[in-house]
């Protein structure tokens, strides 16, 4: 437990030394036949290789997420679903890297399709009460389908699929009582719709986002002002001024 906590602290501080601590924790967990503990540590190693700039290695991140998945008990649907979601995120990160390097359409679509498959598997595994995890998975699928709707990467029909998943993500955030996150999702949908020539729909989402943020008062002051600015821009566009 001490080694695990040290590793978590080092990862939160974005220090590469967290890998050594996690690997020691992983070895100890396997030595005492603590497979659930080893699964969690393998998962955290994946996050370290994925998130820390000094360590970033998507191949290593994928390897550790796969290892975490293998160690999960058969009935651990939440744990397995979480691993699948992270594998989907790795595939999506590969898509973004490939897009930045201006790789071909075939490679971009391969990464997007892999991400969709992993997230769909995550949704199939996650239990109904894992509302935060379900919200994230649906939101990520919304992002992926929005990217697939880009003329350089796929069909424009993807916008409707994106909206379906965004709305599911919003629903799960509200079920979990996180109105702020629901508002963030709505704000992003509003921007996406505005960019796709659907200003009237964008205005509805932007106003709904504002209603989600307002209960947080001054704590959400910055995002409230951004949302009001977005509403103003959309209304100006609709009025033709």
- Give the pLDDT score at 241: 60
pLDDT band at 149 (very low <50, low <70, confident <90, very high): low
3-state secondary structure of 197: coil
CA distance to 54, 162, 201, 219, 227, per residue, from 186 (Å): 33, 12, 11, 18, 10
| Statement: residue 152 has pLDDT above 60 | no
CATH code assigned to 1-71: 1.25.40
Q: Comparing 156-165, 208-217, 220-229, 231-240, which segment has the lowest mean pLDDT?
A: 156-165
Contacts of 17 (CB under 8 A, 6+ apart): 10
Q: pLDDT tens for residues 160-191?
A: 899 999 999 999 999 999 999 999 999 999 99
**Residue in this structure with the two tokens 């001024």, named with its chain if needed:** 241
Neighbours of 142 (CB within 10 A): 26
DSSP 8-class letter at 41? H
The Cβ-side half-sphere exposure at 221, using a 13 Å CA radius, reads 2
- CA separation for the pair 31, 25 (Å, rounded): 10
Neighbours of 9 (CB within 10 A): 12
- Give the pLDDT score at 154: 41
Q: At what angle do helices 77-100 and 131-148 cross, to 10 degrees?
A: 30
pTM of the model: 0.88
Q: pLDDT tens for residues 80-102?
A: 999 999 999 999 999 999 999 99
**Residue in this structure with the two tokens 């602290």, named with its chain if needed:** 9
- CA separation for the pair 125, 239 (Å, rounded): 46
Pick the closest to residue 175 from 126, 219, 135 (CA basis): 135
3-state secondary structure of 54: coil
Q: pLDDT tens for residues 110-139?
A: 999 999 999 999 999 999 999 999 999 999
Domain boundaries, the chain: 1-71
């Amino acid at each position: 437990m001490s080694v695990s906590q040290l590793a978590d602290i080092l990862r939160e501080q974005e220090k590469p030394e967290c890998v050594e601590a996690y690997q020691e924790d992983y070895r100890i967990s396997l030595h005492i036949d603590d497979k659930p503990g080893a699964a969690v540590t393998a998962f955290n190693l994946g996050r370290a290789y994925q998130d820390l700039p000094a360590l970033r290695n998507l191949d290593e991140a994928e390897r550790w997420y796969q290892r975490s998945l293998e160690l999960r008990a058969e009935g651990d649907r939440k744990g397995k679903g979480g691993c699948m979601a992270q594998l989907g995120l790795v595939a999506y990160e590969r898509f973004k890297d490939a897009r930045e390097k201006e790789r071909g359409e075939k490679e971009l679509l391969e990464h997007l399709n892999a991400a969709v498959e992993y997230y769909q598997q995550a949704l199939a595994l996650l239990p109904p009460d894992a509302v935060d995890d379900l919200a994230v998975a649906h939101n990520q699928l919304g992002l992926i389908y929005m990217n697939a709707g880009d003329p350089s990467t796929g069909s424009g029909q993807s916008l409707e699929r994106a909206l379906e998943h965004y709305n599911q993500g919003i629903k799960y955030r509200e079920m979990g009582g996180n109105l702020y996150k629901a508002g963030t999702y709505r704000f992003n949908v509003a921007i996406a719709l505005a960019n796709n020539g659907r200003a009237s729909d964008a205005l509805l989402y932007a106003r709904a986002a504002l209603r989600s943020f307002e209960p947080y008062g001054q704590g959400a002051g910055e995002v409230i002002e951004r949302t009001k600015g977005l509403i103003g821009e959309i209304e100006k566009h609709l009025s033709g001024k």
